[in-house]
Amino acid sequence: MPPSTTPEKAADPGLPQATFRFRCIGCATVTGSAAQDFRCSQCGNLLEITDSSWNSRNPAALKSLWRERRTLNAALDLSGVWRFRELLPAPQSEEQVITLREGNTPLYELPQSSRATGVTRLFAKHQGMNPTGSFKDAGMTVAATFARQAGYSWVACASTGNTSASMAAYAARGGMRSLVLVPEGKISWSKLSQSLDYGALTCQLRTDFDGCLRLLQELVKRAPVYQLNSINPFRLEGQKTLAFELLEQLDWDPPDHIIVPGGNLGNSSAIGKALLEMRDLGLIARLPKLSIIQAEGANALVRTLREAAGKHLVSVLAETRASAIRIGNPASWEKAVKVLQATEGACEQVGELEIAQAKAEIGAEGIGCEPASAVTLAGLKKLLQQGFVEPDETVVLVLTGSLLKDPDFTMEFHRGDLFKNTAVEAESARLNPLRHPPVVLNATLEAVLKTLEQAEKSDRTRSNI
Ligand code: F0G
């Protein structure tokens, strides 16, 4: 029987029965439990979560149930993740759920970028508006819940900064300890400081992200810690809700394109999984194309597709100022390849100048984002040039992290230092009109008035160009 749509019934926050299973993405073996590395015991490939009950739901009833929950105040209904619990793995009880009221993120129009690119229906789904400032929270509420339910007192992750901030917060809320492995000197202070405040045991390892992740795989075999990287399929289940919520915000009329940044490739895999599940269930009538954008200096998936036709991973030694996606050996590359094929999306790369420009342009819209998120706008410009995206199509950029996540990048950009002593230093001068460096003045009225006058004059000159 489909769920009732009356408010009284929707107020019932009961969880569905736990009927989910683990399925290998390689050999399709289905099992009831997963080992600590979340890999198939038969072929070693990654596991995903599947649940036969998902396909038996009534799509119209689900839509109205989810909408009604937005007016309710029960903890599970206030979460923009658990509001969609009919299509998530179910914990044993509501009390198990660790939530910070994640999700419920805004879908913004981007009028200036829309004018500049010619794409009239251009939106940003801003996952940086989550409790710890990134999309990771949507996955973490689910994975941390299952970690505690399984009886773990320690959770652990390797991270470029956002996963660790999110994990530390959810562990703290759930009364668990957390162990963070981050590459020393290669993540932003802002992210690192979050995990300190949330009480994590934070280890800065003298390696890169890929080295941290490798070490974590060894560690979970030796110590009773539960890994919360996106290899953990519960993370991806929570991250699916980004797509459910997006479609709800678009009144279930699918956009033509969704564009996401690609790092370890968990998020693109999660969004793709959600799109396919929504299509199979009849929540949407057609699939958006899901495209993945990487930084040129961390372009493992781009190379995997171009040089190996998606058959095996081409790893790279990653280098980019978009430190969140400085990843050379992405764990979920096979899931991402499948999603690109299923949705007929594109995979592109963008340079450091293009990233900095796009980030400043998103900032100028009054919303801002961190550098890794800005690859989406830079990627859109490339996909338009290639004719893959048409200006009359509807495009959604997924902004994955808040502007406040990487203040060093922003300050260096506006001060004009970001590209000093790099190969693109001379070329970076073309971004000068986007810079707004702080002005240091004597504390006098005259000094401020004069500066204001000069700013008005240069605004007029610019608008006459
Ligand atoms: N954008 C931001 C802001 C990120 O923090 C990440 C990944 C990505 C995009 C890429 O997402 O890995 O799912 O393809 N950050 C991870 C971390 C690796 O440790 O915080 P992905």
The residue length of the chain stands at 465
For the entire predicted model, the pTM comes to 0.95
**DSSP of 233-270, one letter per residue?**
HHHHHHHTHHHHHHHHHTTT---SEEEEE-SSSHHHHH
Query: Distance, CA 241 to ligand 1 centroid (Å)?
Result: 16
Look at the alpha carbons of 119, 136, 374, 274 in this order and tell me if their dihedral is positive or negative.
negative
- To test the pocket of ligand 1, the residue of 127, 192, 264, 271 to mutate (highest count of ligand atoms within 8 Å of its CB) is 264
- How high is the pLDDT of residue 3? 36
Interval 285-317: pLDDT, tens: 999 999 999 999 999 999 999 999 999 999 999
Query: Distance, CA 378 to ligand 1 centroid (Å)?
Result: 17
Interval 338-364: pLDDT, tens: 999 999 999 999 999 999 999 999 999
Burial of 63: CB neighbours in 10 Å, binned 0-12, 13-18, 19+: middle
Task: State both tokens at 383.
Answer: 């996909």
- To test the pocket of ligand 1, the residue of 273, 293, 325 to mutate (highest count of ligand atoms within 8 Å of its CB) is 325
Q: Give the residue-averaged pLDDT of 158-171.
A: 98
The closest residue, in CA terms, to atom 5 on ligand 1 is 324
- How high is the pLDDT of residue 11? 41
- Residue 266 CA: nearest ligand 1 atom is 13
The closest residue, in CA terms, to atom 11 on ligand 1 is 263
Query: Distance, CA 407 to ligand 1 centroid (Å)?
Result: 17
- How high is the pLDDT of residue 465? 60
* 184 has pLDDT over 50: yes
- Rounded to an integer, what distance in angstroms lies between the CA atom of residue 269 and that of residue 333? 9
- Residue 401 CA: nearest ligand 1 atom is 3
Q: Could you tell me which of 150, 135, 156, 166 has the C-alpha nearest to residue 18?
A: 150
- Residue 163 CA: nearest ligand 1 atom is 20
DSSP state of 52: G
- Rounded to an integer, what distance in angstroms lies between the CA atom of residue 460 and that of residue 212? 51
- To test the pocket of ligand 1, the residue of 129, 137, 160, 204 to mutate (highest count of ligand atoms within 8 Å of its CB) is 160
- To test the pocket of ligand 1, the residue of 130, 132, 162, 410 to mutate (highest count of ligand atoms within 8 Å of its CB) is 162
The mean of the pLDDT values for the chain is 95
N- to C-terminal Cα separation, the chain: 64
Query: Distance, CA 229 to ligand 1 centroid (Å)?
Result: 10
Q: Are 68 and 42 in contact (CB under 8 A)?
A: no
- How high is the pLDDT of residue 291? 99
Query: Distance, CA 171 to ligand 1 centroid (Å)?
Result: 19
Interval 383-437: pLDDT, tens: 999 999 999 999 999 999 999 999 999 999 999 999 999 999 999 999 999 999 9
- Rounded to an integer, what distance in angstroms lies between the CA atom of residue 408 and that of residue 413? 8
- Rounded to an integer, what distance in angstroms lies between the CA atom of residue 414 and that of residue 37? 43
- Residue 262 CA: nearest ligand 1 atom is 14
- Residue 261 CA: nearest ligand 1 atom is 9
- How high is the pLDDT of residue 36? 87
- How high is the pLDDT of residue 16? 81
- Rounded to an integer, what distance in angstroms lies between the CA atom of residue 264 and that of residue 240? 16
- Rounded to an integer, what distance in angstroms lies between the CA atom of residue 100 and that of residue 131? 7
Query: Distance, CA 167 to ligand 1 centroid (Å)?
Result: 13
Query: Distance, CA 447 to ligand 1 centroid (Å)?
Result: 44
Interval 117-127: pLDDT, tens: 999 999 999 99
- Residue 269 CA: nearest ligand 1 atom is 13
Task: Report the relative pairing of strands 30-31 and 21-24 from DSSP bridges.
Answer: antiparallel
- Rounded to an integer, what distance in angstroms lies between the CA atom of residue 294 and that of residue 154? 32
* 4 has pLDDT over 50: no
- How high is the pLDDT of residue 281? 97
Cβ-Cβ contacts under 8 Å for 158 (sequence gap 6 or more): 181, 182, 209, 212, 213, 215, 216, 229
- Residue 166 CA: nearest ligand 1 atom is 20
DSSP state of 290: E
Q: Could you tell me which of 343, 126, 145 has the C-alpha nearest to residue 242?
A: 126
- Residue 134 CA: nearest ligand 1 atom is 3
Q: Taking CB atoms and a 6 Å cutoff, what residues make up the pocket around ligand 1?
A: 134, 159-163, 230, 261-268, 324-325, 370, 372-373, 400-401
Of the pLDDT bands very low, low, confident and very high (cuts 50, 70, 90), residue 463 is confident
Query: Distance, CA 294 to ligand 1 centroid (Å)?
Result: 11
The closest residue, in CA terms, to atom 6 on ligand 1 is 324
- Rounded to an integer, what distance in angstroms lies between the CA atom of residue 254 and that of residue 279? 10
